[in-house]
Amino acid sequence: MGYGYTGRILNVDLTRGTTCVEEVPAEVYEAYLAGTGLASFILHDRIPPGADPFGEENILAFVSGLLTGTGALFSGRWMAAGKSPLTGGWGDANCGGILSPAIKRNGYDGIFFSGKSEGPVYLYVKDGRPEIRDASHLWGRDTVETEETLIAETGGTATVAAVGPAGERLSLIAGISHEKGRLAARSGLGAVMGAKRLKALVLDGKRRIDVFDRAEIRDLSRRCNRWVRLQPPFLPAAPAALIGTLMRVLPFQMAMDGMVYKILLRKWGTGSMNQISVEMGDAPVKNWKGTNRDWGLGRSYSVNPDAVARFERMKYHCYSCPLGCGGICVDAGPYGRMHKPEYETVIALGALCMNDDLGAIMHMNEMLNRAGMDTISAGGTIAFAMECFENGILTRSDLDGLELKWGDSGAMIALVEKMIRREGIGDVLADGSRAAAEKIGRGAEALAMHAGGQELPMHDGRNDPGFNVHYSVEATPGRHTIGAQLYYEMFRLWTEVEGLPRPPLFYMKGRKYLPDEEKALAAAACSRFMNVANGAGLCLFGLFLGVDRIPVFSWLNAATGWRLEAGEYMEIGRRIQDRKQAFNIRQGIDPLSFRVPDRAAGRPPQTAGANRGRGMDIVAWMRDYWRVSGWDEARGTPGRGGSGR
């Protein structure tokens, strides 16, 4: 065991019903950290090429971050990883809550499931001792019921991650639920859990994490927290929405300081962007063919941050988070208590489908959370089906009698119900837009807005081309939590890492759309930095403070006793990025196939609205990224022998 990490993982073979503790050498942590870095090291070699994502050979990992439990702030993220049934390549999904410390308090940095159980089971780990238990009584139950039942039947102090009916029914857009509605949503890993007949992971441990210099960590955290607490006393929603309008109409842009976003997040959570993003052209509208003109302030007002906040009864904080962007809401509907809908959910089930019914959005959010289905992918798939209906590709009879018109919230709720149950058209749509388009045919493929099978998130790369780059080049395509030009500005990496470009404070907007070496370096730096963050278990929103305010590298040194420079940590991030890309190559993925669809790249450009006239040659941007990453510029394969070592 070292400092900061436990040095052990738990392997669970669900076919044989056995468990086995494995010691992990210190050098692995020094090379890959923990979290998804550790998972990439282990899974690259152990999941064979061509493995069936639903077969015994696929391994599903639950990993904790290296900084979790050390006293570092924002360090409570846990991650699931494995081969994605949605993309066919590397899959991972990230979630907050309290599971990350629970893994380490049992003496493990990760729990790795291989094989498949014959009947439904859950894994119970109490103070490090694992036990595979029957879960027949839970199969078919939703995620909230499952969590409540398991906590009650294991003594009341455990922490749970579970799949709902979507994962059990192998929906390719199923996620893994935790804390009654926080989802490790992306990559379809809930379906891998369902295929393994693993209903839940239940953890109850008390072990303390050893760290090298606890006083130093405490001091660093205290200083970081001063920035988190800086907050204006009064902040109304209406003028905040107009910030987006201003950002749209000005011909120039100012490099964004993440303190501004932190202030909005602390007040309203991610929903603070519900109107701003549409106004500035960041939020996609009407399956990515609409614009802010179709969804002006008058319509987006229905989901303004204060409208959502009216339902909020208390703030929700993940483990070790001083910010608390989440919220627990209560509404008059059948569910009562629920998590506050995130920005991604509000746009995916709102503007993307032209739906301004906040009550329906909250209701669908809870339906999907209880089923364990990704709200981004569900919204993207419904928008796709709506456009198919508009174009006559899907008829009323194909849709089991539903008139799936833009904005019809009643039809959307009925469709969500069908997708969860895999009934009729719901069976076709439950696997996301790419799989549905392949089944439907008749030109539907052109309307499916995905990268490599993963529905695009709610940030428009025609506004910030950096999003399109990361949607297209990451081993987990269609991911909005890794990089963008905006993120690079907020991360402020140039303040700590030698040789990285500093963006100008003010610049004309046209500069954003010209690919060049600086932008490619910035994008690669975002990927590397987020690999470090996901190895450490840090929350993206904390990182927006900027590395001169959130001491990521100093925390890691204080936790482990290492004496690494920022640049050396970025090199670890590079190694993890290589490893995940090498995993995809080994699984037969062509990296070019992950590029965003033409519509999202502005080919042809929109003729009206915030992103009018904007387009990009996405392949050229991808090749720039591959080149500065040291990868084959034409094929996107990592150098250094392609193994990512």
Residues near ligand SF4 (CB under 6 A): 74, 76, 96, 317-318, 321, 323-326, 539, 541
3 state DSSP class of 416: helix
Minimum Å distance from CB 48 to ligand SF4? 35
Geometric angle at alpha carbon 273, from 268 and 274, rounded to 5° = 100
User: Measuring CA to CA, which residue among 299, 268, 267 is closest to residue 283?
Assistant: 299
Query: Strand 198-204 and strand 121-126: pairing?
Result: parallel
Q: Which is nearer to ligand SF4, 44 or 178 (CB)?
A: 178
Written in H, E and C, the secondary structure of 295-350 is: CCHHHHHHHCHHHHHCCEEEEECCCCCCCCCEEEEECCCCCCEEECCCHHHHHHCC
Question: What DSSP string describes 503-536?
Answer: PPSEEEGGGGGS--HHHHHHHHHHHHHHHHHHHH
At 106, give phi and psi (nearest 5°).
Answer: -95, 5
Minimum Å distance from CB 15 to ligand SF4? 35
User: Measuring CA to CA, which residue among 451, 368, 417, 16 is closest to residue 177?
Assistant: 368
Minimum Å distance from CB 178 to ligand SF4? 12
Q: Which is nearer to ligand SF4, 115 or 551 (CB)?
A: 551
Minimum Å distance from CB 317 to ligand SF4? 5
Q: Which is nearer to ligand SF4, 315 or 603 (CB)?
A: 315
User: Measuring CA to CA, which residue among 92, 98, 91, 60 is closest to residue 77?
Assistant: 98
Which residue type occupies 113? F
Q: Are 345 and 376 in contact (CB under 8 A)?
A: yes
Q: Which is nearer to ligand SF4, 76 or 573 (CB)?
A: 76
Q: Are 462 and 248 in contact (CB under 8 A)?
A: no
For 550, counting Cβ atoms within 10 Å of its Cβ (0-12 exposed, 13-18 middle, 19+ buried), the class is buried
Minimum Å distance from CB 363 to ligand SF4? 23
Q: Which is nearer to ligand SF4, 318 or 473 (CB)?
A: 318
Q: Are 474 and 484 in contact (CB under 8 A)?
A: no
Q: Which is nearer to ligand SF4, 43 or 80 (CB)?
A: 80
Minimum Å distance from CB 188 to ligand SF4? 21
For 332, counting Cβ atoms within 10 Å of its Cβ (0-12 exposed, 13-18 middle, 19+ buried), the class is exposed
Minimum Å distance from CB 73 to ligand SF4? 9
Q: Which is nearer to ligand SF4, 276 or 440 (CB)?
A: 276
Strands (E), 30-169: 60-63, 78-83, 90-95, 110-114, 121-126, 129-134, 159-162
Minimum Å distance from CB 148 to ligand SF4? 21
User: Measuring CA to CA, which residue among 171, 606, 641, 236 is closest to residue 430?
Assistant: 171
What percent helix, strand, coil does the chain show, rounded to 5?
A: 45, 15, 45
Angle between helices 358-371 and 375-390 (to 10 degrees): 120
